[in-house]
Amino acid sequence: MFCNMLWLPAALLLMAALPSPLFATEMPADPAAADALSDEMLFDSAPLEDLIPSPAEPAGPDALTDEALFGAPVPEPGVGVEPSPLVGMGIDPFSLSGYVKEQIGYSYDHSHPDPKLSQLKTEVQLDLQWRPGPSTRVRLVGEAFFDGAYRINGRDTFTGDTLATYEAGADVVEGYVDYSITDSLAVRFGRQFIGWGLTENDQIADVANPRDFREIGLKDLEDARLAVVASKLTYYRPTWGVEVAAIHEIRPHALAARGSEFDPYVRVDDTVTIRDERVPETAPDTTEFVARAYYAGDLGDLSVFFADVHSDEPVLDLTSVDPTTGAITMTPIFPRGTAYGLFGNVASGSWLYKAEVARKTGVPQQNATSRIFADAAANGAQASSWVRKDVVEWMTGVEYSGLSDTLVIAEYLGSVIEDHDESLANRADQHSVSLYVQKDWFNDTLTTTFWWSRDLITHADLFKIEGEYDYSDHIKFTLGIGGFLVEESDSFFFPYRNNGRIYASVQYSF
pLDDT tens digits for 115-130? 999 999 999 999 999 9
What length is written for the chain?
Answer: 510
Strand partners, 321: 328
β-strands 328-333, 315-321 pairing: antiparallel
Q: Decide if pLDDT at 336 tops 90.
A: yes
Domain ranges of the chain: 3-509
d(Cα 255, Cα 248) in Å, to the nearest integer? 21
CB 355 within 8 A of CB 397: yes
Strand partners, 340: 306, 359
d(Cα 163, Cα 177) in Å, to the nearest integer? 34
d(Cα 395, Cα 200) in Å, to the nearest integer? 10
pLDDT tens digits for 374-392? 888 888 878 889 999 999 9
Whole-number Cα distances in Å, 125 to 63, 97, 173, 308, 379: 21, 8, 9, 32, 52
d(Cα 288, Cα 442) in Å, to the nearest integer? 46
**For every residue of 204-234, which 3-state class applies, written as one string?**
CCCCCCCEEECCCCCCCHHHHECCEEEEEEE
Specify the fold of 3-509: Porin (2.40.160)
pLDDT tens digits for 232-244? 999 999 999 999 9
Q: Decide if pLDDT at 166 tops 80.
A: yes
Please, which pLDDT band fits residue 48 given cuts at 50, 70 and 90?
Answer: low
Whole-prediction pTM:
0.82
Q: Decide if pLDDT at 88 tops 50.
A: no
CB 53 within 8 A of CB 451: yes
Nearest Cα to Cα of residue 466 among 483, 445, 484, 482 = 482
**Average predicted confidence (pLDDT) for the chain:** 85
pLDDT tens digits for 418-449? 999 999 999 999 999 999 999 999 999 999 99
pLDDT for 381 equals 78
Select the more confidently predicted residue: 414 or 51. Answer: 414
